[in-house]
Amino acid sequence: MTAIPYYVVDAFTDGPFTGNPAGVCPLDKWLPDDVLQKIAAENNLAETAFFAREGDAFRLRWFAPAAEVDLCGHATLAAAHVLYGELGERESPLRFLTRSGLLTVEQQAGRLELDLPQLPLVASETPRDLLEGLGARPAATFRGMDWVCLFEDESSVRNLSVNAAALIRLDLRGVLVTAPGKDADYVLRCFGPRVGIPEDPVTGSAQSMLAPYWAARLKKTSLIVRQLSARGGTLFCDVAGERVKVSGYARTYMRGTILPG
């Protein structure tokens, strides 16, 4: 099997050893799905992004260590960073064909701006496994692509110690916990043991649900977001119509080659 270029990109950061690392693999042609999944499991990053040119766009897929996922913001940003910064792509915006429809990324004032769809949230009772997994009762709970749990203050989010064995029993992709921020409009953490991610360092796709909620609550459309993981990261969100613009910095951490055969 042909060698595959491989990059690790730290997304939503401009400094070393912070942000969310994503694997990025440019492909000349698609490999079997089981090979893509094994590469993602071997890399063991929150997601590995695979892309191949398709006409005037790029087909983009994201694999967590345990499953393919429907939407991933940081790995999309990382793929755009590789195209612009490593492969010399000049097209702007970049167009990505994905499970979640057409996504675009363009360069804006030194940052990369990702255009995502808004995703709905529906108020819900808090499942027993969610209460057990968080070890705390949220002020409100919603269902969307993930479970979303609202807390009253930043310290409640920061100090959570979760039980992954309980969270993995839940039916959705992951669990988001969020609260008003002290030096940001809102903060969050993201847990995804169901797809092999105990805690995601910085979660771009979460803003598809959280940014519209906080924009309505705070009565503002431009938001600064902090993710309170151990690595930490910063996102800049703008809610516009039915879309959410999520921007941040990215930097290449590693360049290499995968030898799968």
Please report, for the chain, the start and end positions of each structural domain, with discontinuous segments joined by +.
Answer: 4-115+247-258, 122-241
Supply the pTM of this predicted model: 0.88
Domain 4-115+247-258 and domain 122-241 have a common topology: yes
Measured CA to CA, the distance from residue 117 to residue 28 in angstroms comes to 28
Name the catalytic one among 47, 113, 154, 199.
47
pLDDT of residue 110: 86
- pLDDT of 1 reads 66
From residue 199, give the alpha-carbon distance in Å to each of 41, 177, 222, 231.
16, 11, 26, 10
**pLDDT of 261:** 75
What is the tens place of the pLDDT at every residue in 216-234? 999 999 999 999 999 999 9
Average confidence (pLDDT) over 199-214: 96
Other CB atoms within 10 A of residue 246 CB: 30
CATH for the stretch 122-241: 3.10.310.10
Mean pLDDT of 113-130: 96
pLDDT of 154-191, one tens digit each?
Answer: 999 999 999 999 999 999 999 999 999 999 999 999 99
Residue 256 pLDDT exceeds 70: yes
Provide the pLDDT confidence category of residue 109 given band limits of 50, 70 and 90: confident
- The neighbouring-strand residues paired with 112 are 107, 248
Q: Is 47 a catalytic residue?
A: yes
pLDDT band, very low/low/confident/very high, at 140 (cuts 50, 70, 90): very high
Tens digit of each residue's pLDDT (9 = 90 or more) over 44-101: 998 999 999 999 999 999 999 999 999 999 999 999 999 999 999 999 999 999 999 9
How far is residue 90's CA from residue 81's CA, in Å, rounded to a whole number? Answer: 12
Angstrom distance (rounded) from CA 157 to CA 110: 30
Cα separation, 261 vs 246, in Å, equals 37
* Structure tokens belonging to residue 195: 């797809």
CATH number assigned to the domain with residue range 4-115+247-258, chosen from the 4 options 3.40.50.300, 3.10.310.10, 3.40.50.10810, 3.50.50.60: 3.10.310.10
Q: Alpha-carbon distance 212 to 216, whole Å? A: 6
Backbone angles phi, psi at 13, to 5 degrees: -160, 160
